[in-house]
């Protein structure tokens, strides 16, 4: 049955285990745009309070649509779940949410301070608190000296900093940041990362949408990878990369004869002279590598390097967005014509 | 309430930022200064300390307070507020809704705990701030000029504020809807001026066809009277002819002599009656045609906002309550209208009566605000359903 064109958010969301800790608890979020384009195809996602949650995905995977549905900017076709314990689409809960959209645009006639105070007032924060918070937040994002200047005079990085401050003015329990470090220099990025960690440490859930995987890897407690409108993977970086965790042992000389029987894989062998060999033990446990090391020593082999190896977030990301058959990146976007879906998913 | 106050404060900042707002305020100041600079005395018109002998505007002809009130209504409201300031206002506010729905800006607004309908209507009201401030400043300044220079502190002058604001709101509603749907400043400027032009044509068409209809009614009624007179003449002549024939049959020689002449006269009068009846049939056909066309124009006009008539209503209210000079009653002569000669006084009396009956204040304001409600209803429906 095709999804209805009217939003269906009335159904009581199923409770996830430990749901009181969840800032974002989504079940079966779908969005079909006109022209029967499925942007989201049943998203299930949880982000906890007091964690930085990274949302990854190639262009057009549906990240922005998902974020906009959470913030009522886009109406879902169907959506079950909660934001801060209230059903998706509940207007009042937005007073406890901070949001920095991608390519946000403050009115040119506002100063940085006015932009922050206006955002606070729109969240129902009283004027005195807005003023006090604006002072604090301008300091926090390193914009104290620029608060009374018009935003039209700001650089991209300064706009991002003020945008983050505006998203924080209502002291939110959930902060959704879409590409917060876009256009920010490396020093600024470090500052922003520090700010995010401080926000997280106060018990706020930071929901981060970014393309900069290395940035995310540095700050995110948990991530979800969105591919073609579906969650391809979700969990801590540790969990997601656990399968790829292994030990690499570089030894002098050719591979030992017993290597295969001991569960070792020969990764590389050098040709020159006596040469070196790299053995791979597919285990994350340090205990598992000890017998191998003992046996190598017994054989009189020189152990040159021993290193634990783990997939980077970028490797993980590429693993999910690449088509395993062709080795090429999957078709960009979540776009899937309904007609195509009749014959099978695109 | 905090959100509404924040939106109004932001709108004020936006207006403050727009140069056109200040240009219009300065121009309004100049218009009021010019208004204060002119006056009338026993000789005629005065400009600052110069006196120009125009007897027809002298205080003997028009009291000083009436002179100022008349100038305020005719030039201040009729030209400045209803045309020039409105055009500047519409150009100045054209970007409010396109900027509002612009990507990056709308996300920030919609992600706040405020309903879309409330957000839209508050934004619409903040847009009316432009016109509201302009007309209030202008009317207050004019009130002071009329009081200080004319010696008449007339509070009814302030009726201009709500009526001009209502007039502006008809157009701004259309502009807001176009801006919201298209997101284009150019489209909202061109669209609203085109719409204003079309409704002006319809209002003019309604007025002209009403005048045509009334002219036809007058001439038809006149023709009916002529037919009736001619019929009574024919009846009288026929009766006389019967009497004459009876007398002739009785051998009255004089009657016999008069009979042919009277018979000819009767034929002539009957032919004349026939001609007039044919003319009446034509008149009635034209009258029906004019009624039908006027009916259509009136129907379309009823469905659309009435900008010109709202400003005319303001003039009428000022005449009734602010002691504004009424135009002199038309002379009781005849003028040619739509090819027919009609009495100017009779025409004007019937035209005014028809206007009072079918173009009353409730019709003007009620139907115009009804149209505005439909446009705003459509815009808010669209805004609530739209994904950004």
Taking only the tens place, the pLDDT of each residue in A181-232 is 887 888 888 888 888 998 899 899 999 998 788 888 889 999 999 988 999 8
Shared-domain flag, residues A126 and A224: yes
pLDDT at A339 over 50: no
Across the interface, whether the CB atoms of A109 and B108 are under 8 A apart is answered: no
pLDDT at B18: 79
pLDDT at B356: 87
Nearest chain B Cα to A106, which residue?
B105
Instruction: Please give the Cα distance from B104 to A165 (Å, whole number).
Output: 16
pLDDT at A342 over 60: no
Across the interface, whether the CB atoms of B13 and A114 are under 8 A apart is answered: yes
Residue pair A247/A93 in contact by the 8 Å Cβ criterion: no
Shared-domain flag, residues A195 and A291: no
In-domain check, residue A343: no
**Domain end residue (candidates: A206, A221, A240):** A240
Rounded to the nearest angstrom, the minimum Cα separation between B138 and chain A is: 26
Mean pLDDT (chain A) is 84
Instruction: Please give the Cα distance from A312 to A300 (Å, whole number).
Output: 34
In-domain check, residue A317: no
CA A36 to chain centre: 27
In-domain check, residue A215: yes
pLDDT at B371: 97
Shared-domain flag, residues A31 and A110: yes
Shared-domain flag, residues A65 and A131: yes
Q: Which of B18-32, B128-142, B294-308 is modeled with the greatest confidence? A: B294-308
A34 touching chain B per CB within 8 A: no
Mean pLDDT over B45-55 rounds to 86
In-domain check, residue A28: yes
Contacts of A229 (CB under 8 A, 6+ apart): A38, A39, A40, A41, A43, A61, A62, A334, A336
**Hey, what are B272's tokens?**
């004349």
Which of these, A147, A169, A151, lies nearest to B17 by C-alpha position? A151
pLDDT band at B334 (very low <50, low <70, confident <90, very high): confident
CATH number at residue A140: 3.40.50.300
Q: Which residues of B touch A105 (CB under 8 A)?
A: 102-105, 108
Shared-domain flag, residues A94 and A226: yes
Rounded to the nearest angstrom, the minimum Cα separation between A170 and chain B is: 11
In-domain check, residue A136: yes
pLDDT at A317 over 80: yes
Across the interface, whether the CB atoms of A122 and B3 are under 8 A apart is answered: yes
pLDDT at A346 over 70: no
**Domain end residue (candidates: A223, A240, A257):** A240
**Domain end residue (candidates: A196, A214, A240):** A240
CATH number at residue A273: 3.30.70
pLDDT at A125: 93
Residue pair A130/A169 in contact by the 8 Å Cβ criterion: yes
Give me the number of domains chain A comprises.
2
Q: What is the pLDDT of residues A97-138, one digit of tens each?
A: 999 998 899 999 999 999 999 999 999 999 999 999 999 999
DSSP-assigned letter for residue A327: -
Q: Is the dihedral of CA A313, A315, A316, A317 positive or negative?
A: positive
Mean pLDDT (chain B) is 90
Shared-domain flag, residues A293 and A197: no
In-domain check, residue A315: no
In-domain check, residue A324: no
A183 touching chain B per CB within 8 A: no
Q: Which stretch of DSSP H or E encloses residue B149?
A: helix B116-150
Contacts of B201 (CB under 8 A, 6+ apart): none
Instruction: Report chain A's C-alpha Rg in angstroms.
Output: 25
Contacts of A51 (CB under 8 A, 6+ apart): A200, A205, A206, A221, A222
Higher pLDDT: B97 or A185? It is B97
Nearest chain A Cα to B115, which residue?
A91
Q: Which residues of B touch A126 (CB under 8 A)?
A: 2
Shared-domain flag, residues A121 and A153: yes
B110 touching chain A per CB within 8 A: yes
In-domain check, residue A339: no
Rounded to the nearest angstrom, the minimum Cα separation between A275 and chain B is: 59
| Phi–psi pair at B83, nearest 5 degrees | -125, -70
pLDDT at A10: 46
Shared-domain flag, residues A261 and A134: no
pLDDT at A1: 37
A138-147, B117-126, B314-323, range with the lowest pLDDT: B314-323
pLDDT at B377: 97
Across the interface, whether the CB atoms of B387 and A73 are under 8 A apart is answered: yes
pLDDT at B142 over 60: yes
Rounded to the nearest angstrom, the minimum Cα separation between A248 and chain B is: 48
B296 touching chain A per CB within 8 A: no
The number of residues in chain B equals 388
Across the interface, whether the CB atoms of A74 and B105 are under 8 A apart is answered: no
pLDDT at B45 over 70: yes
Nearest chain B Cα to A91, which residue?
B113
- Domain range spanning residue A290? 246-309
Shared-domain flag, residues A200 and A287: no
Instruction: Please give the Cα distance from A331 to A340 (Å, whole number).
Output: 13
- DSSP letters of B42-106? SSSEEETTEEE--GGGSTTTS-HHHHHHHHIIIIIIIIIIIIIHHHHHHHHHTTHHHHHTSTTTH
Q: What is the pLDDT of residues B74-94, one digit of tens each?
A: 888 888 888 888 998 898 889
Q: What is the pLDDT of residues A62-79, one digit of tens each?
A: 888 999 999 999 999 999
3-state secondary structure of A170: coil
pLDDT band at A274 (very low <50, low <70, confident <90, very high): low
Shared-domain flag, residues A52 and A175: yes
Shared-domain flag, residues A67 and A196: yes
B267 touching chain A per CB within 8 A: no
Instruction: Please give the Cα distance from A91 to A46 (Å, whole number).
Output: 20
Shared-domain flag, residues A233 and A264: no
Nearest chain A Cα to B106, which residue?
A73
């Amino acid at each position: 049955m095709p999804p209805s064109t009217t939003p269906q958010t009335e159904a009581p969301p199923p409770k996830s285990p430990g749901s009181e800790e969840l800032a974002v608890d989504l079940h079966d979020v779908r969005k079909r745009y006109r022209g029967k384009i499925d942007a989201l195809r049943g998203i299930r996602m949880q982000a906890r309070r007091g964690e930085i949650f990274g949302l990854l995905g190639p262009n057009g995977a549906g990240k922005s649509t998902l974020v906009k549905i959470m913030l009522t900017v886009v109406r879902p076709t169907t959506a079950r779940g909660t934001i801060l314990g209230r059903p998706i689409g509940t207007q009042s809960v937005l007073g406890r949410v901070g949001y920095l959209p991608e390519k946000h645009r403050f009115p040119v006639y506002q100063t940085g301070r006015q932009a922050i105070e206006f955002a606070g007032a729109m969240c129902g924060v009283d004027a005195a608190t807005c003023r006090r918070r604006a002072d604090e937040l301008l300091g926090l994002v390193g914009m104290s000296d620029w608060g009374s200047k018009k935003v039209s005079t700001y650089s991209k990085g300064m706009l991002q900093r003020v945008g983050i401050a505006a998203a924080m003015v209502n002291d939110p329990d959930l902060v959704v940041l879409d590409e917060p470090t876009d256009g920010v220099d490396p020093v600024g990025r470090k500052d922003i990362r520090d700010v995010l960690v401080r926000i997280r440490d106060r018990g706020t859930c930071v929901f981060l949408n970014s393309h900069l995987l290395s940035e995310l890897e540095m700050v995110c407690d948990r991530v979800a990878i969105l591919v073609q409108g579906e969650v391809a993977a979700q969990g801590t970086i540790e969990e997601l990369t656990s399968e790829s965790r292994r030990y690499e042992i570089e030894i002098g000389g050719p591979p030992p004869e017993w290597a295969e029987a001991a569960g070792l894989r020969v990764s590389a062998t050098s040709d020159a002279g006596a040469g070196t060999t790299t053995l791979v033990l597919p285990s994350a446990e340090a205990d598992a590598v000890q017998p191998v090391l003992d046996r190598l020593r017994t054989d009189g082999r020189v152990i040159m390097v021993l290193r634990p190896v783990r997939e980077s977030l970028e490797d993980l990301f590429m693993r999910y967005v690449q088509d395993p058959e062709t080795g090429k990146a999957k078709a960009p976007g979540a776009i899937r014509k309904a007609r195509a879906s009749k014959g099978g998913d695109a | 309430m905090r959100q509404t106050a924040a939106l109004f404060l932001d709108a004020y900042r936006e207006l403050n930022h727009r140069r056109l707002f200040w240009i219009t305020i300065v121009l309004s100041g100049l218009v009021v200064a010019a208004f204060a600079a002119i006056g009338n005395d026993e000789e005629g018109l005065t400009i600052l300390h110069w006196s120009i002998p125009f007897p027809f505007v002298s205080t003997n002809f028009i009291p000083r307070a009436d002179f100022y009130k008349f100038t305020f209504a005719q030039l201040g409201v009729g030209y400045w507020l209803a045309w020039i300031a409105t055009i500047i206002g519409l150009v100045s506010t054209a970007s409010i809704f396109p900027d509002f729905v612009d990507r990056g800006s709308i996300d920030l607004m919609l992600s706040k705990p405020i309903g879309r309908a409330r957000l839209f209507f508050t934004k619409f009201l903040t847009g009316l701030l432009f016109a509201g401030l302009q007309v209030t400043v202008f009317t207050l300044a004019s009130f002071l000029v009329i009081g200080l220079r004319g010696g008449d502190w007339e509070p009814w002058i302030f009726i201009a504020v709500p009526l001009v604001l209502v007039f502006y709101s008809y157009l701004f509603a259309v502009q807001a809807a176009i801006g919201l749907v298209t997101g284009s400043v150019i489209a909202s400027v061109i669209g609203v001026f085109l719409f204003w032009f079309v409704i002006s044509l319809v209002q003019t068409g309604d007025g002209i066809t009403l005048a045509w209809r009334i002219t036809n009614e007058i001439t038809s009624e006149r023709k009916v009277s002529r037919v009736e007179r001619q019929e009574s003449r024919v009846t009288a002549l026929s009766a006389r002819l019967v009497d004459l024939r009876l007398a002739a049959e009785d051998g009255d020689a004089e009657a016999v002599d008069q009979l042919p002449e009277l018979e000819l006269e009767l034929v002539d009068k009957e032919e004349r009656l026939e001609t007039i009846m044919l003319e009446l049939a034509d008149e009635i056909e034209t009258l029906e045609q004019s009624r039908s066309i006027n009916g259509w124009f009136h129907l379309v006009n009823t469905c659309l906002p009435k900008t010109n008539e709202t400003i005319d209503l303001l003039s009428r209210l000022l005449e009734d309550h602010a002691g504004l000079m009424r135009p002199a009653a038309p002379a009781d002569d005849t003028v040619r209208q739509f090819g027919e000669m009609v009495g100017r006084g009779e025409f004007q009396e019937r035209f005014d009566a028809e206007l009072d009956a079918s173009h009353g204040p409730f019709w003007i304001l009620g139907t115009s605000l009804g149209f505005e409600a439909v446009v705003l209803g459509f815009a808010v429906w669209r805004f609530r359903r739209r994904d950004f």
